[in-house]
Structure 1
Amino acid sequence: MALAKAVEASGLSLERIQRHLELRGVQVSQSTLSYWRRGRSRPERPESLHAVAVLEEILKLQPGTLTGSLGDKRPRGRWVERAAALEGIWQEAAVDLGRAINRVDRLLASPAKYISLRDVVVIGSDRREIEMRTSSVIEAFEDGVDRLLVAKVAEDTDLSTGDIVAKRSCRVGRVRRDDEHNLLVAEIILDRVLRAGDTALVDLRMIADPGADSASADRTFIRNLRDYVLEVEFHPDAVPVRCYSFTRSEKGAPEVETGDLWIGTTASAHLVVHEAQAGSVHGIKWEWE
């Protein structure tokens, strides 16, 4: 994008650029500048177009260098930002997920990564999954991060995609369901706007709607992750006879058992993964009989 290249060539931070704009009587937030630079939104209002013209002066560009690259206006109500950070979903569902996101008006994915992640899957007395509680720490790549996308993929035997509930430091924004592809996409809004390097806690509950006994829990990693913990809590009246961990190095790769897991007196088992690699799958399976 022309603006991104111009900012990089100038050596100016977004904070300095914003300050130069203010000195010229133009008010634009750093988050807006960040979205313009990454192409996640575009200036269209008259005041925004004026700001772009002033940016050309600040960045020492020929008049029209930026304004001439904007092109035609996007159709209102149908344009959606491309999701750039889809964390913790089935990689093979990413294409279908994109179709679901394209039905959402201006739903933004956050430029952030997970530093640590813990999933707790709860199995009820009927041997079916009740929910997965997810606690994570995210770190912003750049300024202006105030939300992230979360996708929930239902099993073929599930009655529906279930639901997503936010806890404490965040809240659920817009939610869209794609029943054809068993997908639920939710906008998770943070309690503050993050700058580059800032961290935030995100606690969610993924409510399940199973139609059959549950036999596994796992996660596919789109990006590398330093620390991951997966725990499965079984109801005292529904404890499996065997529980073991497994992994796959990439999509379509053969599944490899990595060892039996002890089910303790609390009727739970857990798996710890250090340095999970992008594309890999780590999970727990169990046998009822």
Structure 2
Amino acid sequence: MKFEEEVVTGVHRPEFATLFRAAIVERGVTMTWLRERLADGGNPIAAATLSYWRSGARRPEGPRSIAAVEEIESLLALERGALVSLIGPTHRVGPIGRVQYPLAHDRLEQLTAETFTGLGAAVLDPARDVSTTAVTEVGADGFVISRTTRTLLQSTSGTITDVPYIDMTPGAPTPAPLFSMLGGGRISRRYSHPSGEVHGAMMELERPLGPAQTAMIEWKLEYPPGYPGTSETGHGVARRCRDLMLWTKFHPDALPTWLEEVQETPDDTTVTPLCLDGATAIHQVRQGWGPGMLILRWGYDARE
């Protein structure tokens, strides 16, 4: 069904509000029902905000609102993008700050730039990690088995069709880990720097992202048997992110004797000792943080 822009009391209502209102009537649901389903799905929106959207008094703005609109499309049995495409290019993308290389290492920056070029990507692409959770599995030998990353991605300008991702082993040349896509797209290209210290993959999104639009992507890095042992994990962002969480899970037969958190930014590096306190996993959280790299390192001897 196609809903045209309507005129009420001489005022043109935005097409977004028209379709939103008509879809609610067509589906036969109440605003209370919609608000409760959004909250159940992890996208809570105030009743007043939904009313503003329905009346056309306001339009959705920001990553959280866009994510909620994408869920509304599903709840109201609309085609994907039916409402998001009508929001228009003027909604804000939130505070993203200046894009910067996350580490203060000129050599690594050069290797990273060359890897992006090898992937056919811009050195600093116009994508932003709004919210990222990375889960690392550590095996009985104390080394990383895999890292699964789930990211709410946002376009900061233009239209994005591909997103590059890199894995670094500074000072330790290694073969490429195994990249795989779990959702939101596919791996279209891979490239390893001749140094063996930076490996990259290009992720082709399921659908293009216009300015300020968002999408969820999930991918996995695996380190097969025979791969040089890795006893650290982390995630870096080139722009300010809303949420970043690292969850590292250790094998119960290989709990480290020491842990340390390393926070690297373009300006400084901070190292903080951590403790499992009897647990088998540890998480690190940052909010409104970046650019920078958040790292966890561990070992099994006395810490020097």
- 2:256 pairs with 1:243: no
Secondary structure of 1:217's counterpart equals strand
Query: Are 1:268 and 2:281 counterparts?
Result: yes
Comparing 242-251 and 138-147, the one that deviates more: 242-251
Q: Does the CA-based 8 Å contact 1:164-1:186 persist in structure 2?
A: yes
Aligned pairs (5 A) from 1:1-289 = 92=106, 93-104=108-119, 106-107=120-121, 110-157=125-172, 159-208=174-223, 213-250=229-266, 253-257=268-272, 259-264=274-279, 267-278=280-291, 280-289=292-301
Structure 2, unaligned runs of 5 or more: 1-98
Distance 1:151 1:281 in 2: 13
Q: Partners in 2 of 1:226 and 1:144 — Cα distance?
A: 21
Deviates more, 1:142-151 or 1:115-124: 142-151
8 Å contact kept, 1:123–1:233: yes
- Asked if 2 retains the 8 angstrom alpha-carbon contact of 1:245 and 1:284, the reply is yes
Indicate the SS of the match to 1:94. Answer: helix
CA apart distance, 1:237: 1.9
Residue 273 of structure 1: how far off its partner (Å): 1.2
Evaluate the alpha carbon distance shift between residue 192 and residue 90 of structure 1 in structure 2; reply closer, same or farther with a 3 A threshold: farther
SS in 2 for 1:274: strand
Task: Give the 3 Å change call, closer, same or farther, for CA 275–259 of structure 1 in structure 2.
Answer: farther
CA contact (8 A) 1:232 1:268 kept: yes
CA distance in 1, matches of 2:111, 2:182: 27
Deviations 1:8-36 (A, max 9, x none): xxxxxxxxxxxxxxxxxxxxxxxxxxxxx
Q: Deviations over 1:138-173 (max 9, x none)?
A: 111234211111111135446413121111211100
SS in 1 for 2:140: coil
Task: In structure 2, give the amino acid aligned to 1:219.
Answer: H
The change in CA–CA distance for 1:188 and 1:161 in structure 2 (over 3 A counts) is same
TM-score by length of 1: 0.60
Please say if residues 103 and 264 of structure 2, whose CA atoms lie closer than 8 Å, have aligned partners that are also in contact: no
Q: Which runs of 5+ in 1 are unaligned?
A: 1-84
SS in structure 2 at match of 1:190: strand
State the shift of 1:186 in Å: 1.3
Percent of residue pairs bearing the same amino acid type: 16
- Deviation at residue 89 of structure 1 after TM alignment: 8.1
Aligned length: 201
Q: Which moved more, 1:191-200 or 1:201-210?
A: 201-210
Alpha-carbon distance between aligned partners in 2 of 1:222 and 1:284, rounded to the nearest angstrom? 18
Note the C-alpha offset of 1:136: 0.4
